Amino acid sequence: MASTSTDATSHAAEAASAPGMPQLDFSNWGNQIFWLLITLVVIYFVLSRIALPRIAAVLAERQGTITNDIAAAEELKAKAVEAEEAYNKALADAKVEAARIVAEAKAEIQAELNVATQKADAEIAAKAAESEKAIATIRSGALASIKDVANATTAELVSALSGKADDADVAKAVDAQMKG
Amino acid sequence: MASEAHGAEEGGLVFHPMDQFNIKPLFGGDHVGLFTITNATLWMALAVVAVVAMMVIGTRRRAIVPSRSQSIGELAYGFVYKMVEDVAGKDAVKFFPYIMTLFMFIVSANFLGLLPMSFATTSHFAVTVVLAMAVFLTVTVVGFVKNGVGFLGLFWVSSAPLALRPILALIEVISYFVRPVSHSIRLAGNVMAGHAVLKVFAGFAAIAVVSPLSVVAITAMYGLEVLVAFIQAYVFTILTCVYLKDALHPSH
């Protein structure tokens, strides 16, 4: 191995193809280390100046967005709960109001109904009285007519049978018969 | 690939599982100088491209509701950020870009290395040793700057009996200095071993009788390597976090 590395200083390619590990051929270490350092410095600057701040910013922004969104969602949820409560309260109020209006309307209708009933009763009573009066008149009229007709008929019958009829007697007899 | 060429040249069943790790100049010549653009350079550059695509282009829309590509970048960010925060503590978050750089480079290089005909940069000790030493030096410097001499309390196990403490301190010191070694060899070793095994199985595919078995074995091994590619990046990163925690809070 040692001989390989000493040979390699003058014949790098030849030494590399000889049996042994190219890793231990120290002639090319300088070259590798030089390029490695450049590589590392480039990667370091690319990462520390561009990539890492950018990714950190994106991650922070995302975290902020998520936090904000969750806060907004919670706020909206609270608002929804509030709205639901307001709705329920309004509903309950409306029910109470409706019940009150129904009761009021019922009472009003009842009062109107009572008035109307009374009025109707009064009217009916008046009409009944009037009718009774009319019936009484008609009845009395009818009675008088019957008496007249009976008187006349009786007078005719009496005059036909006995020739002579005293109106007063006839009337008295008819009255007596009609009462009986 | 190079190994097949060798096999044809020499005849018979010849394996060159390590040839895939050769470092070759891309634009002619066979001398690898300090600034030569090699296949390793190319695949490191592609790792940069992959990281930029994932973390910058993928997130260009900055959407609140992420697209798929943006989700990948955010997932990677969240994965490493949580790891740093959980393992190394809240005050380690200022090292997050540094740890993210290590993770993104290793995970990109590991996965790019799994592409056929590609080159696995993380299979080279030159790469992983630099990464591990960078972590080791950072942790040591941060430890002393934050805690001063108190950082040495890391090696002084105050919960142990007094007689045992010097021995434990010696063990702690040794384990502390072995950290970069294990840290680097673990990553390169895993990647290299997996790729070499794939190559060996691929070599067996030249024998007609064995080739179906060989293909099945390569498939299974490849699946394992996909797992290893991620797990080794994860292990490297989480160990970095653990070491960082030691530096920030050295008390046991």
Is the model's pLDDT at A1 over the cut of 60? no
Q: Which of A19, A31, A43 sits opposite B105 (nearest CB)?
A: A43
Our count of domains for chain A comes to 1
Q: Which amino acid is at A6?
A: T
A40/B101 Cβ within 8 A: yes
Q: What is the DSSP letter of B25?
A: B
Give the structural domain span for A52: 2-179
Which residues of chain A lie closer than 8 angstroms to B35, CB-CB?
Answer: 31, 34
B44/A35 Cβ within 8 A: yes
Q: Token pair for residue A58?
A: 């994106």
HEC string of B174-190 equals HHHHHHHHHHHHHHHHH
Give the structural domain span for B144: 2-248
Alpha-carbon distance of A127 to A121, in angstroms, equals: 10
| d(CA A46, nearest CA chain B) in Å | 7
Looking at A79-88, A145-154, B56-65, B236-245, which range is the least confident one? A145-154
Q: Please name the residues in contact with B64: beta carbons below 8 A apart, sequence gap of 6 or more.
A: A58, A61, A62, A65
- First-to-last alpha carbon distance for chain B, in angstroms, is 52
Q: Is B79 exposed, middle or buried (0-12, 13-18, 19+ CB in 10 A)?
A: middle
pLDDT band (50, 70, 90) for residue B252: low
Is the model's pLDDT at B14 over the cut of 90? no
pLDDT digits (tens, 9 = 90+) for A155-177: 888 888 877 767 787 788 778 88
Please answer whether residues B247 and B146 qualify as being in contact, where contact means their C-beta atoms are separated by less than 8 angstroms: yes
| d(CA A1, nearest CA chain B) in Å | 14
Q: Is A55 exposed, middle or buried (0-12, 13-18, 19+ CB in 10 A)?
A: buried
Give which of B40, B134, B105, B108 is closest to A43, Cα–Cα: B105
Q: Please name the residues in contact with B176: beta carbons below 8 A apart, sequence gap of 6 or more.
A: B154, B155
Our count of domains for chain B comes to 1
> What pLDDT was estimated at residue B16?
83
Mean pLDDT of B163-175: 91
Q: Please name the residues in contact with B168: beta carbons below 8 A apart, sequence gap of 6 or more.
A: B157, B160
> What pLDDT was estimated at residue B8?
43
> What pLDDT was estimated at residue A2?
42
A17/B21 Cβ within 8 A: no
Is the model's pLDDT at B229 over the cut of 50? yes
> What pLDDT was estimated at residue A147?
81
pLDDT band (50, 70, 90) for residue A97: very high
pLDDT digits (tens, 9 = 90+) for A99-113: 999 999 999 999 999
> What pLDDT was estimated at residue A164?
74
Q: Which amino acid is at B212?
A: P
Question: Considering chain B, what percentage of its residues have pLDDT values greater than 70?
Answer: 95
- Say how many C-beta atoms besides its own lie within 10 A of residue A171's C-beta: 16
